[in-house]
Amino acid sequence: MRITGAQSSYTELNAVLERARRQPRTATSISEEQLVALQARWTRALSARLDQAIEFAGSRPLIKVVAEAWRQQGIDQDTLRGVLDQAESRCPALAAAMGTEFRYLALAAGLVGLDGATEDAVRVGRDYRDRIRSGDSASWDSSAA
């Protein structure tokens, strides 16, 4: 099911997700390249969802709007999120690729500015994502960022 070239194909990634969906308790063999490509897929979809959520946020606090968007994306793409969550701690390339997601979260929630250091945005975004996962994002202290 491998393709020639540097990137995993859309069809290949769909097959990986289908295997993971059908056998969620069974370890699915997924290459580092595939995990990075799946993270890119997640980040693109999340970016679109964040854009829409922010556009229609009205007067609602962005920190809550962004958390709700991330959670809904996780519900809508639960298999993809599960694959990424399971691999995050064991795949350094995936962990590095997640930096874009973390920066998006921190920026969209207003926790960091565009002029801040990338490393700080990644750190703040990772902490924020962890709080979203735990259900504790509403108590975020922006001074901690």
Instruction: For 65-121, give the DSSP string.
Output: HHHHHHHHHHHHTHHHHHHHHHHTTT-HHHHHHTHHHHHHHHHHTTSS-TTS-HHHH
Residue 5 binned pLDDT confidence (cut-offs 50, 70, 90): very low
pLDDT value of position 28: 67
Query: Does residue 102 contact residue 129 with C-beta atoms inside 8 Å?
Result: yes
Q: With cut-offs at 50, 70 and 90, classify the pLDDT of residue 29.
A: confident
pLDDT of residue 120: 96
Arithmetic mean of pLDDT, 28-38:
91
What's the first-to-final CA gap in the chain, in angstroms?
A: 43
Compute, in degrees rounded to 10, the torsion defined by CA atoms 110, 112, 35, 52: 20
Sequence-separated (6 or more) residues with CB below 8 Å from residue 90: none
Could you state, in order of their start, the residue ranges of all structural domains in the chain? 35-144
Confidence band, pLDDT 50/70/90 cuts, at residue 27:
low
Alpha carbon distance 108, 125 (integer Å): 10
pLDDT beyond 50 at 1: no
Q: Which of 79, 125, 61, 76 is nearest to 98 (CA)?
A: 125
Is residue 37 predicted with pLDDT exceeding 60?
A: yes
